A and B are shown apart, each in its own frame.
Chain A
């Protein structure tokens, strides 16, 4: 261990392919200021693993069975707002990057990025700054002119569907295993994004859009 890094950055790898995780671990093990504290292979396990190993940075894949990395990112950010999430994905289009940012990710790199760059990205994100892979940054620049549509994130959409089926904030908090305050925050965000300020309108909107079925 080098003396200039008193506490190494604790990272966790989330990828449903153990081989990829192993390959990356092998590369990252050459960097002394990085400590791989955990790994898991499914979006639904992320929260529990995070609770156990409290990483500084999570390298998160997007395409995973059951729950994708973007939804998992939102869930982690609800419970651990300080944990930085660096998306580590095979998907290259700007839509994924934008969705990742909406979900609360701090950075986005592609899976075939050199390990050196992966290391740089982890360091940048850990310091609280965003990081986007060189080709990703390029892509974001060319797409910056599109107006940021007031779209709901996956989590917000899920909360909306539960509101629309008549659940209270408390019940939703219980179902999603988050605090009532977080639910209320989602509720506010949803209302402001959709420009709707009462519950009845919200329910009607959800039914009209086919999010839930009129009961």
Chain B
């Protein structure tokens, strides 16, 4: 796995973990907070209700005080008057009313359901399974207290939670109470809860969104980085490859020169010394000894052989006469060997190119001719070198069968390492390299911009001109 991908993966995992942690943490915090809020709100609302109930009870007690205070323990008239007053105290629509039971659970006042008056509800169990009336009476006797229980709500005819306060009228043994239904409290709490939930959902969404977009950005940046890096690496590899080729050519040129200008010249001088020896012997009327003849022959062979090696390493003609003539020599040699006719067009000027461009284009011709010889089945080849419109253009064209593998511009793997190599080398000189092929033949085109060599000739000449002066 490439390094950049590992970093990318690490970053993505980091983001996912952070997002997950934040998500869980925030959600928990929100839940706790909302539960607290709701609880606080609820106790506040309940407290309000309790205060309200107590106030109602006080009002009710005040409204019966004038009768109750002066009435006797068994004053049935007074009791009826009080019961009447309490049945008329209605608030909150129909849901706020007073109820009265005696301490044995017999109903005395129940304005919403007057038919229940006189019946005993001591054993009545509510939906929670508690004896409602007993608890209310118990609370009343203990000096008044609140009780929450499920109860039928008159306005909606449904069982709703009810909060009641009951007080005791000790003289008559009456439990007097009133209650509020908590449905609106529950509604308020619900709406608060749903507001909080909505908020939580929003936060979750934001966290998810941020996480997702972070991952996306990481991937995008990573990918861009990866590709720029790859491009950079490719470029460096190309440059390195070119450097190696250049070094190799330089080295070959160097060895070739050493052989041609050093060793061969020494051998030539030995050859003439041997000849001089022969002449000396002849003058002295001594027959030329056989080993001397043998040495001369061997020496000639050695010279030929070393020259062949030297030429193979680096064509010396390229340095001495320039690309045009080197190309021509190559073409002639090719033509003689393969019987494929070669026509060469070349510019009137010579030695315009620096060594590296020279050898590159020379290798293009060499490689192309080799390909033609091996694959093209051609009978004719044109080599054309010309400077047109700011470009030095080298074209090698044949009338062979073409290259079936390629019919597009870019040299592909199929065209072989040699050709790819050439393309790289040409591009190194800011040039262009192109192979087109059809059934009528192949053409290899290498172009070098004039700016790559424009000043070379004059620079080359300057030291010589000044020396001549």
Chain A residues proximal to chain B, CB less than 8 Å: 16-17, 19-20, 22-24, 26-27, 29-30, 44, 47, 62-63, 66-68, 70-71, 75, 90-96, 99, 111-112, 114-115, 142-143, 146, 149-152, 154, 157-158, 160-161, 165, 174-177, 193-194, 208-214
Contacts of A165 in B (CB 8 A): 458
5 A-B pairs closest in CB distance: A23-B272, A19-B269, A26-B276, A95-B325, A23-B269
Nearest CB on A from B284, distance (A): 12
Nearest CB on B from A14, distance (A): 14
Q: Nearest chain-B residue to A212 (Cβ)?
A: B458
Interface of B is mostly: helix
- Contact between chains at A20 and B348 (CB < 8 Å): no
Known: A177-B468, A208-B387. A157 touches B349 (CB 8 A): yes
| Contacting residue for B348 out of A27, A151, A177, CB 8 A | A151
- Contact between chains at B321 and A17 (CB < 8 Å): no
- Contact between chains at A27 and B276 (CB < 8 Å): yes
Q: Annotate B343-362 by CB proximity to A: 1 below 8 A, 0 otherwise.
A: 01011111110000000000
Nearest CB on A from B149, distance (A): 107
Nearest CB on B from A205, distance (A): 9
Q: Interface size (B, Cβ < 8 Å)?
A: 55
- Contact between chains at B279 and A91 (CB < 8 Å): no
B13 in the interface (beta carbon within 8 A): no
- Contact between chains at A176 and B453 (CB < 8 Å): no
- Contact between chains at A91 and B392 (CB < 8 Å): no
Nearest CB on B from A60, distance (A): 13
Known: A30-B279, A91-B317, A115-B279. A157 touches B467 (CB 8 A): no
- Contact between chains at B465 and A158 (CB < 8 Å): yes
Known: A66-B467, A91-B320, A176-B468. A115 touches B329 (CB 8 A): no
- Contact between chains at A158 and B347 (CB < 8 Å): no
B271 in the interface (beta carbon within 8 A): yes
Cα A203 to Cα B107 with chains together (Å): 130
Q: How many Cβ-Cβ contacts under 8 Å join chain A to chain B?
A: 156
Cα A154 to Cα B352 with chains together (Å): 11
| A47, A154, A194, most chain B CB atoms within 10 A | A154
Q: Nearest chain-B residue to A160 (Cβ)?
A: B349
Contacts of A67 in B (CB 8 A): 464
Q: Nearest chain-A residue to B304 (Cβ)?
A: A112
B328 in the interface (beta carbon within 8 A): yes
- Contact between chains at A20 and B269 (CB < 8 Å): yes
| B455, B464, B468, most chain A CB atoms within 10 A | B468
Cα A44 to Cα B466 with chains together (Å): 11
Q: Nearest chain-B residue to A151 (Cβ)?
A: B348
Cα A127 to Cα B351 with chains together (Å): 34
Cα A160 to Cα B456 with chains together (Å): 15
Q: Nearest chain-A residue to B257 (Cβ)?
A: A63
Known: A91-B316, A112-B271, A115-B279. A209 touches B387 (CB 8 A): yes
List 4 extra interface pairs beyond A93-B332, A96-B320, A115-B275, CB under 8 A: A17-B268, A30-B279, A30-B280, A91-B316
Cα A104 to Cα B377 with chains together (Å): 41
Known: A66-B467, A94-B332, A112-B303. A209 touches B347 (CB 8 A): yes
Q: Please, could you name 12 A-B residue pairs with CB atoms under 8 Å apart, sorted by A?
A: A17-B265, A17-B266, A19-B265, A23-B273, A63-B261, A63-B320, A68-B320, A93-B325, A95-B321, A112-B303, A152-B348, A210-B456
- Contact between chains at A112 and B458 (CB < 8 Å): no
Nearest CB on A from B353, distance (A): 8
Cα A71 to Cα B460 with chains together (Å): 14
B286 in the interface (beta carbon within 8 A): no
Contacts of A66 in B (CB 8 A): 463-464, 467
B83 in the interface (beta carbon within 8 A): no
Nearest CB on A from B387, distance (A): 5
B158 in the interface (beta carbon within 8 A): no
- Contact between chains at B457 and A176 (CB < 8 Å): no
Q: Annotate B273-295 by CB proximity to A: 1 below 8 A, 0 otherwise.
A: 10110011001000000000000
Contacts of B344 in A (CB 8 A): 146
- Contact between chains at A17 and B269 (CB < 8 Å): yes
- Contact between chains at B329 and A95 (CB < 8 Å): yes
